[in-house]
Amino acid sequence: MLVITRKPRQALRIGEARVLVTRVSGNQVRLGFKTPPGVRAYREEVYATIRRANLSARIQAPPILPDDLTTHEPSND
């Protein structure tokens, strides 16, 4: 784990993402994120909820094709 100290208006880079400390108030830190298009950033609890929902959907999803259609056997017609 990387642990660093930043003051307000100081930033750090994670790959192409820029993380800026916008404000520090007591024990709270406000961060701003600038990421390339297509990069999504989520709070940890939101990400965990999305992951659980995706896993649940994958487990409950029916197969795309019924078993009898998953292989192709030439007919004698």
**How do residues 2-56 score in pLDDT, each as one tens digit?**
899 999 999 999 999 999 999 999 999 999 999 999 998 899 999 999 999 988 8
CA distance 28 to 8: 12
Prediction pTM value: 0.61
pLDDT at residue 71 greater than cutoff 80:
no
pLDDT confidence of residue 70: 55
**Number of folded domains that form the chain:** 1
* Assigned domain for 45 exists: yes
* Assigned domain for 52 exists: yes
Amino acid at 51: R
pLDDT at residue 64 greater than cutoff 90:
no
Close Cβ partners of 69 (under 8 Å, ≥ 6 residues apart): none
pLDDT confidence of residue 2: 86
Residue 71 CB neighbours (<10 A): 7
Give the structural domain span for 35.
11-63
* Assigned domain for 19 exists: yes
Q: How far is CA 41 from the centre of its chain?
A: 6
* Assigned domain for 69 exists: no
* Assigned domain for 77 exists: no
* 21 and 31 Cβ atoms separated by less than 8 Å: yes
